[in-house]
């Protein structure tokens, strides 16, 4: 089975991938869904906070949610796009209710609404502190039962197949992808459409809240196929990741601060009021920079999130999973402040697309974190990520089905993958060395605070590594580790060149050599011909 045929190939099994797969299949399309690990492993499944959506119109409004989103995004957002997502929020909540998602309720039987940084009203619909897990659970049940969906776990996308790449047509379009199976074989999947829904790029950085599957694969694959990126310098660092040797990459949800948690120094002193009028509930970019500044000033390894003023029973009920995780690490959050540090969390830029997932290449769609729609601007408002994924997947499915109807011509058979000229690898240490070096200098030079000199140093080193990796890629048999290394190298270069292009500080991008913001917010685009 060297070639596999389907209507839609979906790469990624997070909220966007699963939701779109189900919608397309319910409309009669045949779907192959490829995921790098198991279907349960994704950024979406790890999401704690919830879905930001206006539910209580007596205390909230679409206008308030739109304003909060654009304020947090430092006016780099597209207002019409923000309006589109915000106004579609309530329908998405109802959709997941119908799927059997068990959202938390208050004592009156209504949805319990949380509040997080940057929000001026309670509007975060959640399922305890495991919202992502619950959303994926409800979706997975429906996806696994549907006969129109085939799932390939532990399969890794290599590259997209386009008609222009192999001169199969005078009109360029995407007609499938090469996929690496768990045994090292390359499958040729031929499809009418491809959806990239691979999530973010947290693994590009040394410290991240993301699961280790998030190596920016979709951005790299789409970019190599010809899709430009927008605002990739805008990498969100979540302010509060648990700092403990017994529990790595554990995100301490912003919802804790929404319920009254306060950030303090080692000595117990509150410090966020010095940086923003919302204190510990300021937007994430401000909180992350404030913590970074406090740590550099004090020399301490971490700051602390103090929840001790809240009752133990409330904490155990509202945050059952986090309470257990902290307890396993020897921290009782009802009596002990939680040690926290910032870490790479979310990609606010991405592949350029419409809110319904269309890219500049016919047949190629994107959804979720990988897509730059204009919703998030220079800094994502908390819990708007799940809002984007839930709303977008519905409209992406519609676009895919419309494309089916419009494209009548038969797909030409692309060539099979050839490894006639490659040999088996004998030096895995080269992959590991480059991997570690990229993640470390991205953290040190292209992190929360940047400078011209740091960016130039990162780029100079990366260009040398990229040449080495390219030579390795074309001369040795492909592996999952090599593919991830190739992808994080390209994504890192896109981030650096985007950061160099932006001659101001705005939102998540802070450059000490350009500390002011321009009067007008503009996007940073990187085109494939600038790098490839």
| Structural domains in the chain plus CATH codes | 3-233+348-406 (3.50.50.60), 240-343 (3.90.700.10), 428-530 (1.20.58.100)
- Tell me if residue 318 is catalytic: no
> Nearest-CA neighbor of 374 among 118, 126, 66, 92?
66
pLDDT of residue 439: 94
On the question of pLDDT at 406 being above 90, the answer is no
Q: Tens digit of pLDDT for each residue in 482-519?
A: 999 999 999 999 999 999 999 999 999 999 999 999 99
Distance CA 468, CA 453 (A): 24
pLDDT tens by residue, 392-401? 999 999 999 9
The answer on pLDDT for 425 being more than 80 is no
The C-alpha atoms of residue 119 and residue 380 are separated, in whole angstroms, by 11
Q: Which of 503, 489, 501 is nearest to 526 (CA)?
A: 501
Give the global pTM. Answer: 0.93
Q: What is the pLDDT of residue 79?
A: 98
Using CB atoms within 10 A of its CB, is residue 326 exposed (0-12), middle (13-18) or buried (19+)? Answer: buried
pLDDT at position 232 over 80: yes
What's the average model confidence in pLDDT over 450-455? 97
Contacts of 58 (CB under 8 A, 6+ apart): none
Residue 257 has pLDDT above 80, yes or no: yes
List pLDDT tens digits, range 147-160: 999 999 999 999 99
Torsion of CA 265, 269, 270, 273, to 10 degrees: -110
Q: How many residues does the chain have?
A: 532
**One of 284, 289, 318, 454 is an active-site residue; which one?**
284
Instruction: Read off the pLDDT of residues 432-442 as tens digits, 9 standing for 90 and up.
Output: 889 999 999 99
Tell me the average pLDDT across 197-226: 94
Residue 119 CA to residue 414 CA, distance in Å, equals 49
In degrees, rounded to 5, the angle at the alpha carbon of residue 198 between the alpha carbons of residues 344 and 442 is 30
**Predicted local distance difference test score (pLDDT) of residue 126:** 95
Count H helices, E strands: the chain? Answer: 15, 18
**Which range among 156-160, 207-211, 242-246, 428-432 has the greatest average pLDDT?**
156-160
Question: What is the 3-class SS of 376-400, one letter each residue?
Answer: CCCCCCCCHHHHHHHHHHHHHHHHH
**% residues pLDDT > 90 (the chain):** 82
All residues at 6 or more sequence positions from 318 whose CB lies less than 8 Å from its CB, including other chains: 128, 129, 255, 259
Residue 348 and residue 508 in contact, taking contact as beta carbons nearer than 8 Å: yes
- CA torsion sign for 253, 258, 260, 266 is positive
**Top-ranked range on mean pLDDT: pick from 48-52, 58-62, 402-406:** 58-62
pLDDT at 405: 83
Mean pLDDT of the residues in the chain: 93
- The sign of the CA dihedral 532, 452, 486, 342 is negative
Residue 180 reports pLDDT greater than 90: yes
Per-residue pLDDT band at 408 (split at 50, 70, 90)? low
Q: Dump pLDDT digits (tens) for 304-341.
A: 999 999 999 999 999 999 999 999 999 999 999 999 99
Q: What is the predicted pLDDT for the residue at 427? A: 63
Average pLDDT of the segment spanning 223-228? 97
Q: Is the dihedral of CA 208, 214, 220, 223 positive or negative?
A: negative
């Amino acid at each position: 089975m060297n070639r596999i045929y389907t209507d839609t190939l979906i790469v990624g099994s997070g909220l966007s991938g699963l939701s779109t797969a189900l919608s397309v299949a319910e409309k009669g399309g045949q779907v192959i869904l490829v995921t790098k690990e198991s279907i349960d492993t994704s950024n979406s499944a790890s999401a704690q906070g919830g879905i930001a959506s206006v539910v209580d119109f007596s205390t909230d409004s679409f206008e308030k949610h739109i304003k909060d989103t654009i304020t947090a995004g430092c006016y780099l957002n597209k207002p019409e796009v923000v309006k589109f997502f915000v106004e579609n929020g309530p329908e998405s909540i109802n959709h997941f209710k119908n799927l059997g998602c068990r959202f938390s309720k208050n004592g009156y039987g209504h949805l319990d609404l949380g509040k997080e940084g940057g929000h001026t009203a309670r509007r975060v619909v959640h399922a305890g502190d495991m919202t992502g897990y619950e959303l994926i659970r409800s979706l997975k049940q429906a996806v696994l039962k549907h006969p129109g969906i085939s799932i390939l776990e532990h399969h890794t996308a290599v590259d997209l197949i386009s008609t222009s790449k192999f001169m199969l047509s005078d009109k360029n379009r995407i007609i499938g992808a090469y996929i690496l199976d768990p045994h090292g074989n390359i499958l040729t999947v031929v499809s009418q459409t491809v959806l990239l829904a691979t999530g973010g790029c947290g693994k590009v950085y040394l410290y991240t809240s993301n699961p280790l599957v998030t190596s920016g694969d979709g951005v790299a694959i789409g970019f190599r196929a010809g899709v430009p990126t927008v605002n990739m310098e805008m990498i969100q660092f979540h302010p509060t990741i648990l700092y403990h040797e017994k529990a790595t990459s554990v995100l301490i949800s912003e919802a804790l601060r929404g319920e009254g948690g306060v950030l303090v120094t080692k000595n117990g002193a509150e410090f966020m009021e010095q940086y923003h009028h919302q204190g510990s509930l300021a937007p994430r970019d401000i909180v992350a920079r404030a913590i970074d500044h406090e740590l550099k000033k004090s020399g301490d390894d971490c700051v602390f999130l103090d929840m001790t003023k809240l009752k133990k029973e409330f904490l155990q009920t509202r945050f059952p999973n986090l309470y257990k995780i902290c307890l396993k690490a020897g921290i009782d959050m009802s009596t002990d402040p939680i040690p926290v540090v910032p870490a790479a969390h979310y990609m606010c830029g991405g592949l350029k697309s419409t809110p319904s997932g269309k890219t500049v290449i016919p047949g190629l769609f994107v959804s979720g974190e990988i897509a730059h729609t204009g919703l998030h601007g220079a800094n994502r408002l908390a819990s708007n990520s799940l809002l984007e994924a839930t709303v977008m997947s519905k409209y992406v499915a519609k676009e895919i089905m419309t494309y089916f109807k419009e494209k009548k011509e038969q797909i030409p058979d692309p060539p099979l993958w050839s490894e006639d000229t490659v040999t088996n690898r004998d030096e895995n240490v080269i992959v590991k060395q480059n991997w570690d070096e990229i993640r470390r200098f991205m953290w040190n030079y292209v992190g929360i605070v940047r400078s011209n000199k740091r960016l130039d140093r990162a780029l100079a080193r990366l260009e040398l590594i990229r040449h080495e990796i390219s030579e390795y890629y074309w001369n040795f048999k492909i592996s999952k580790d090599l593919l991830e290394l190739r992808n994080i190298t390209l994504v890192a270069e896109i981030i650096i060149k985007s950061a160099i292009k932006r001659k101001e500080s705005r939102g998540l991008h802070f450059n000490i050599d350009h500390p002011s913001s321009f009067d007008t917010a503009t996007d940073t685009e990187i085109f494939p011909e600038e790098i490839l």
